[in-house]
Amino acid sequence: MFQGSFPALITPFGDDFEIDFEAYGRLIDFHLENGTDGIVPCGCSGEAATLSHDEQKKLIRFAVERVAGKVPVVAGTGSNNTKEAVGLTRFAKEVGCDGALLITPYYNKPTAAGQIAHYTMVAEEAGIPIMLYNVPGRTGTKISPETIAALSKVPNIVSVKEACGSVDQVSQILGQCDINVMSGDDSLTLPMMVVGAKGVVSVAANVIPGIMSELCAAANAGDYDKARELHYKILPLTTALFFETNPMPVKAALAKMGMIKNTLRLPLVPMTDESASRLDPVLKDLGLI
């Protein structure tokens, strides 16, 4: 269903903390021009937690219209309120998204039975391909391989973004079902693809869309020598982009590249000068600044 590099698109804000749609359009064009395989607006990297539902809908609609069918758009529509998730996911379908990315309900900490009930209701009521998003470091709750295997039997639950930081998790999932797996950890993209993942929903692709797409294409073609070369080439960047909480470093990087203002909504703030100084040489080595 989904394959290659899908940037988890950041949301640019102006000095007034309102969405900068001009910069947003430039970012989408940058990805389309550099071989990105898909676009994911309104995920964690897009600061969805501090977007109103109206803003989220505007960003999703804008992305679909700007992409104009050139690549798949998989919109972040998750919530810890199942009714809200259903509404946002229905909207994503109505405006023409190719799929929806739904984070595991956070804070509530549902059991496996609750996770299955939540995702099944959204999938059945929204009627769009669903990508589960397993990121226990943010949600406090993990989706087990057994639960993912059970959810894969729901007809339109077709994929999972795996951000557990574990290649074993991917192996266990694919040992139990044939659901499409996308890495949710940039530095583990190649190891996860070696055991069967098809690509990545990527933070790093915000700044290096071409390289991430090339890495995924090489791995999917079985050219592991080339994929390994690219993996090590970008490893300093995939480390640097997590010096502080995502998306603080990637926004700093894009600002240094002249693409956005380094503005985040509270409670996130720009990364410290000390961390930013450590980011600079990594960006220079890749010719980004």
| Sheet bearing 157-162, strands edge to edge | 4-7, 199-202, 180-183, 157-162, 130-134, 99-103, 74-76
C-beta separation of 86 from 118 below 8 A = no
Active site residue 198: no
Report which of 228, 224, 256, 226 is spatially closest to residue 240, judged by C-alpha positions. 256
Q: Give me the catalytic one of 161, 198, 251, 256.
A: 161
CA-to-CA distance for 48 and 76, rounded, in angstroms? 8
Position 133: which residue type?
Y
- Of 119, 133, 198, 256, catalytic: 133
Cβ-contact 249, 240 below 8 angstroms: yes
Whether 167 contacts 131, CB under 8 Å: no
Is the preceding peptide bond at 267 cis, omega within 30 degrees of 0? yes
| Cα angle: 185, vertex 246, 182; to 5 degrees | 25
Told to judge if 24 belongs to the known catalytic residues of this protein, a careful annotator would answer no
The span from the CA of 185 to the CA of 41, in Å, is 17
Which residues are CB-contacts of 244 (< 8 A; sequence separation ≥ 6)?
271, 272, 275
**Nearest 10 degrees: Cα torsion 42, 231, 4, 223:** 180
Do residues 72 and 39 lie in contact, with contact meaning Cβ atoms separated by under 8 Å?
A: yes
Catalytic annotation, residues: 133, 161
